[in-house]
């Protein structure tokens, strides 16, 4: 290793003589540069509290990307990509400036060096005294309710007793999973009655029940209701639950079949706020117990999350005489289940009517613009 000796006013530097000493010195410089980049990355993308962990010990990081605060697990693909992009920017800046530092930055881009840095980030987050709850779609801070819009700007809706507003950096933390879709940007002056023509249900009482279910689904804590729609084949049950889910927790996969095991059900519940299951004709006693656990915020695979699940269930009405249209379930599931609204029209009629209403809504928007263009002579 290199050393320095003092002889009066002169300083003599002894350089490593053999290959092993030069290799050790080179590794030491690379390690110092890696530590510097780790500290600089945290300071650039966040602050002293950027690294933290949740109650279950998962490491998270707050990153400032395009001016927006984003929260990602340290082991996520997105966090890794942001760190690699940071290293690439640092190397390009040093290379463009003709600095010798670019030679020591290049090894930091190797896979082994990136993996070592990720391990370092995780260790720092796990050892951090900061512990925060990280939520999916809905969270609470005191009496305030926050709803994640899942848009590019990481905006959230803040709902209070006085009203609502859109905030860019809420005090709570949200995480985003694969498949989550964005909610539309809210506008003032709307009414729940606008939704009524799009719902294929019977009567005002069923409409009030559906609105109550949607409001309960936006609560940050359970217990949550389980809404079941029962109807004949082709009565637009799946179309209905997909529409309702898009109002609360839209997803790239709006509905699917009920998982075969409770473990798969709990894992899916951990990654989304609302689950929509279609074509359920049977319900075992074990699956009934699993759904009750989820609706009462008890997740055995993620007990520290303290977050429940809102379920939308759709079933086929059994045509056999003497059989019940309800799927077999335990008594406690029937208590959590909302009164089943029955679709009243066929699926084709619902889809055709819905397309017509959306087309008329677009015409009502376009006609004033057309009149304005004609007035201006365009």
The per-residue pLDDT for range 303-360, each reduced to its tens digit, is 444 444 555 655 554 444 444 445 545 555 655 555 555 555 555 555 555 555 544 4
Calculate mean pLDDT across residues 361-365.
37
Residue 154 lies in domain: 135-174
In a domain, 340, yes or no: yes
83 & 143 share domain: no
Residues 197 and 341 in one domain: yes
Rounded-to-5 percentages of helix, strand, coil across the chain: 45, 20, 35
How many structural domains is the chain composed of? 3
pLDDT at 262 over 60: yes
- Lowest mean per-residue pLDDT among 152-166, 175-189, 205-219, 226-240: 226-240
Q: Which of 243, 263, 262 is nearest to 251 (CA)?
A: 243
Neighbour-count burial for 258-291, b at 16+ CB within 10 Å, e otherwise? bbeebeebbeebbbbbbbbbbebeebeeebbebb
Last residue of a domain, one of 99, 127, 155: 127
340 and 196 share a domain? yes
Residue 371 is assigned to a structural domain of this protein: no
Same structural domain for residues 50 and 76?
yes
**Rounded distance between C-alpha atoms, residue 51 and residue 63, angstroms:** 9
Whether residue 207 lies inside any domain: the answer is: yes
Output the six-digit token pair for 39: 């500290």
Do 108 and 50 lie in one domain? The reply is yes
Residue 323's pLDDT is: 41
Residues 153 and 204 in one domain: no
Task: Answer yes or no: is pLDDT of 289 > 70.
Answer: yes
The pair of three-digit structure tokens given for residue 204, joined into one six-digit string: 């005002």
Is the residue at 18 inside a domain?
A: no
152 in the same domain as 98:
no
């Amino acid at each position: 290793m290199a050393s320095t000796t003092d002889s009066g006013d002169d300083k003599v530097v002894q350089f490593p003589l053999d290959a092993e000493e030069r290799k050790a010195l080179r590794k030491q410089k690379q390690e110092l540069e890696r530590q510097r980049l780790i500290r600089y990355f945290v300071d650039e993308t966040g602050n002293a509290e950027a690294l933290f962990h949740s109650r279950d010990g998962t490491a998270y990081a707050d990153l400032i990307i395009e001016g927006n605060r984003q929260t990602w697990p340290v082991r996520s693909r997105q966090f890794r990509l942001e760190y690699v992009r940071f290293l690439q920017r640092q190397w390009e800046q040093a290379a463009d400036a003709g600095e010798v530092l670019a030679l020591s930055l290049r090894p930091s881009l190797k896979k082994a060096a990136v993996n070592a840095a990720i391990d370092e980030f995780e260790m720092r987050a796990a050892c951090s005294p900061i512990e925060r709850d990280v939520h999916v779609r809905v969270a609470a801070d005191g009496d305030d309710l926050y709803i994640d819009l899942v848009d590019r700007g990481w905006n959230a809706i803040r709902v209070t007793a006085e009203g609502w507003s859109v905030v860019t950096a809420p005090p709570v933390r949200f995480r985003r999973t694969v498949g989550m879709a964005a909610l539309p940007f809210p506008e003032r002056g709307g009414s729940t009655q606008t939704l009524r023509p799009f719902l294929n249900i019977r009567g005002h009482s069923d409409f009030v029940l559906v609105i109550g279910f949607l409001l309960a689904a936006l609560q940050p804590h359970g217990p949550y209701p389980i809404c079941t729609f029962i109807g004949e084949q082709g009565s637009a049950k799946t179309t209905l639950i997909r529409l309702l889910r898009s109002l609360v927790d839209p997803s790239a996969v709006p509905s699917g079949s009920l998982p075969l095991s409770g473990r798969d059900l709990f894992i899916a519940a951990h990654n989304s706020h609302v689950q929509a299951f279609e074509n359920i004709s049977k319900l075992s006693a074990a699956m009934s117990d699993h759904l009750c656990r989820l609706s009462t915020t008890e997740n055995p695979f993620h007990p520290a999350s303290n977050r429940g699940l809102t379920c939308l269930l759709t079933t086929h009405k059994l045509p056999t005489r003497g059989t019940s249209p309800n799927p077999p379930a335990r008594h406690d599931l029937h208590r959590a289940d909302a009164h089943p609204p029955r679709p009243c029209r066929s699926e084709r009629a619902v889809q055709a009517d819905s397309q017509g209403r959306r087309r008329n809504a677009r015409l009502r928007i376009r006609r004033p613009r057309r009149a304005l263009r004609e007035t201006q002579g365009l």
